[in-house]
């Protein structure tokens, strides 16, 4: 049977992992989604997968403490990384986030790419910068989505896109930057296509080399 066009057309919740463990085996390429809370990450995941409540299922008050994995039609995994709401979070929360998310980003060989969401109305908040700083040494592909773009006028959209592109240009990643709206659908199809490409590339050998056993 021919494979469905997009890996995002068959998605299922797989597992939650915490600081104490629970990560699935690294046998499939992973696409990690990150962003501060309320940026529209769950809505974006739902729009990309055409599911209404997929990413909300795992949205509980303790969500800064878990990484949620979703299977993408057996071709890859979507990884929902926790974000927090404010720059000034208790030190303990930040330390736990560093350990969990930083640990994942720094060590995950299955990681094929990272999608960072920033609110198009006010990108580059302190938390966004903190996240981008964490991503600096991460060599995988990076896509920055400027979320809730429907809240901006056409002129504002053009402006924020070029500002964000200029600001991210020349960084370690050569990040792609796009406008995105779960509500209007702007950028949804293009993002799905790009991420499918990333999965395909990761599945055909464009991977980090395996770590040799001792």
**Interaction site with ligand GDP (CB under 6 A):** 35, 37-43, 147-148, 150-151, 181-183
DSSP-assigned beta bridge partners for residue 16: 68
Name the residue nearer to ligand GDP (CB basis): 60 or 174: 60
Instruction: For the CB of residue 127, give the shortest distance to ligand GDP in the complex, in Å.
Output: 11
Closest CA to 7 of 41, 40, 36, 49: 49
Instruction: For the CB of residue 52, give the shortest distance to ligand GDP in the complex, in Å.
Output: 12
Name the residue nearer to ligand GDP (CB basis): 53 or 212: 53
Q: Are 28 and 110 in contact (CB under 8 A)?
A: yes
How far are the Cα atoms of 47, 158, 185 from residue 189, in angstroms, in the given order?
Answer: 9, 19, 8
Name the residue nearer to ligand GDP (CB basis): 96 or 181: 181
Name the residue nearer to ligand GDP (CB basis): 4 or 86: 86
Judged on CB neighbours under 10 Å (0-12, 13-18, 19+), 94 is: middle
Instruction: For the CB of residue 53, give the shortest distance to ligand GDP in the complex, in Å.
Output: 11
DSSP designation for 15: E
Instruction: For the CB of residue 160, give the shortest distance to ligand GDP in the complex, in Å.
Output: 14
């Amino acid at each position: 049977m021919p494979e469905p066009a997009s890996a995002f057309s068959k998605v299922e919740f797989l597992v939650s992992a915490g600081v104490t463990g629970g990560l699935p085996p690294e046998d499939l390429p992973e696409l990690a989604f990150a962003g501060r809370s309320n940026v529209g990450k769950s809505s974006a995941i739902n729009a990309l997968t055409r599911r209404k409540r997929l990413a909300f299922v795992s949205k509980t008050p303790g969500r800064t403490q878990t990484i949620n994995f979703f299977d993408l039609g057996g071709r890859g995994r979507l990884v929902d990384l926790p974000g927090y709401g404010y720059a000034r979070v208790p030190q303990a929360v930040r330390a736990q986030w560093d350990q969990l998310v930083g640990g994942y980003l720094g060590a995950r060989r299955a990681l094929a790419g990272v999608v960072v969401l920033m609110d198009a109305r006010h990108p580059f908040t302190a938390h966004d910068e903190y996240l981008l700083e964490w991503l600096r040494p991460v060599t995988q592909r990076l896509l920055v989505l400027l979320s809730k773009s429907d809240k901006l006028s056409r002129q504002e959209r053009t402006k924020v896109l070029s500002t964000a592109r200029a600001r991210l240009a020349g960084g370690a990643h050569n990040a792609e930057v796009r406008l995105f709206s779960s509500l209007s659908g702007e950028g949804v199809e293009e993002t799905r296509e790009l991420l499918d490409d990333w999965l395909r590339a990761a599945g055909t050998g464009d991977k980090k080399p395996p770590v040799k056993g001792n």
